[in-house]
Chains A and B, each alone.
Chain A
Amino acid sequence: MGFLQHKEVPRHRFAVTYYTGGITLFFFLIQVLTGLLLLMYYRPTADAAFESVRFIMSKVQFGWLVRQIHVWSANLMVLAAALHLLATFFGRAYRRPREVTWLTGVGLLFLTVTFGFTGYLLPWNTLAYFATKVGTEIAGDVPVVGRAIMVLLRGGEEVTEATLSRFFGIHVAILPAIMTVLLGAHLLLVQIHGMSRPIAVPVRGGEPFYPHFVLRDLFVWVLLLGGVAALATLVPWPLGEKADLLAPAPAGLKPEWYFLFMYQSLRLLPARILSLEGEKLGVMVFVFGSLLLLAVPFLDVWAQRERSHRVVTAAGIAALLFVIGMTIMGLRADR
């Protein structure tokens, strides 16, 4: 614990962004706890999955609360991770020596949305079934390995009970295992390097990480816990109807809000661009975008020299506006 007392949290105009990582961690811890509780009653088969979730919601004491907190906290975790990414990006906190911290962080963000994608199917309702069908179909558009990825994810050519088994295994065992390693590395690196100081903002000294910052962090966590519990109680997520593999897809089908920007941009693309399928091209652009995001610390040569360059800020704002714009467009699109 000794090193915690030496660690300092800088004070400056944007110091509030130092909370975003801890908030993401808090939602992750809630996911672990409520996820373990859900495992006590959930059954991952096509016959029983929907019924077991309904059983949790209606028969198990506080089951509704546990599930609603799991769903709400999952969505808030994605939001918190995204905010953490933005804070890190615009604060240039990825610059030397924190390049690996950035890599693990982006990896954790991808893991988080994969958690969301796999968890979404588990209640085995109509929306989840079709979202998974479309989502895995899109994964099939990734060049070269796409088809193999799709079959591997689905456990066959189609979305069936085999897919449910796989997604369950991925959601409760494989992803948590990878997450543990990556998160451990991420947190360790943060402790080793300490908090990053922004380049262009004047820093007014610092405060000890422990106990000052930790206590305030915990205070925020308590507030958030109250907030999540209130949301879970007052704004419940519906369970929907049990998936019927032969029923036609319902109208107004949309993915989760954090996939909406990709979904919307793929929809806007024409069927063919030059000699390529529009959708395939779009997926390739997103794959390239992800690689670009990973490579940010190595591309921003100015930040390595402690300079904050306008080009990087502009690129970040452009990407952010694109994501926000597409998301809003997707939300407003024919319901």
Chain B
Amino acid sequence: MEQQSDRRPVRIGRRSFFDYLFGTGLAALAGAILYPILYYLVPPKVKEVTASSVVAAKAGDLAPNAGKIVAFGGKPAIVLRTPEGEVRAFTAVCTHLACTVQYRADFKHIWCACHDGHYDLHGQVLAGPPPRPLDEFKVTVKDDDVIISRG
């Protein structure tokens, strides 16, 4: 049975016991309310479009020294024809703050309007704040279709 010891067990009063019980109950209630709310706010996964290639343009429609923006896997991509007549494609998402870039015929290269970022026709940064070059896509021209694909 119980051993007599010098150290008596710490007694807590009825008052503080109920305070403790009340506080714990409230905390549990708050948790039970906040838990579903937090999970509700996390957006559910929606099917990501993972197209690995897309027909981006008709080769005949793409004039030299011009470019166009197309959707590729839910994000914008830029397909352009260099003044020399070569077709290239890059991601159109600027590496600085994710604005969509455009082809500037007067500069003869890619330009981002948001913070004056300049990229050359290989996607390399010429001037401005972009930290990295634009990713280049593979371009295949089959018959009249310009097909762009990753890697």
Contacts and interface: CB of A to CB of B under 8 A. Distances in A.
Interface string A56-81: 00011111011000000000000000
Interface string A16-47: 00000000000000000000010010000000
* Interface majority SS (helix, strand, loop, mixed), chain A: helix
A37 B39 contact: no
A63 B29 contact: no
A61 B40 contact: yes
B44 A62 contact: no
Contacts of B10: none
A63 B33 CA distance: 13
Contacts, number: 24
* Interface majority SS (helix, strand, loop, mixed), chain B: helix
B40 A37 contact: yes
B40 A66 contact: yes
Nearest to B41: A40
A217 to B, nearest CB: 15
B12 interface: no
B42 interface: yes
Contacts of B41: 37, 40
B25 to A, nearest CB: 9
A324 interface: no
Contact of A66 (B29, B36, B44): B36
A61 B39 contact: yes
B37 interface: yes
A222 interface: yes
A60 B44 contact: yes
Contacts of A60: 40, 44
Contact of B40 (A55, A63, A222, A225): A63
Contacts of A225: 33
Contacts of B44: 55, 59-61
B30 to A, nearest CB: 11
A40 B40 CA distance: 9
Interface of B: 29, 33, 36-37, 39-42, 44
Closest 3 CB pairs of A and B: A62-B36, A61-B39, A59-B44
Interface of A: 37, 40, 55, 59-63, 65-66, 222, 225
24 contacts: A37-B37, A37-B40, A37-B41, A40-B40, A40-B41, A55-B44, A59-B44, A60-B40, A60-B44, A61-B36, A61-B39, A61-B40, A61-B42, A61-B44, A62-B36, A62-B37, A62-B39, A62-B40, A63-B40, A65-B36, A66-B36, A66-B40, A222-B29, A225-B33
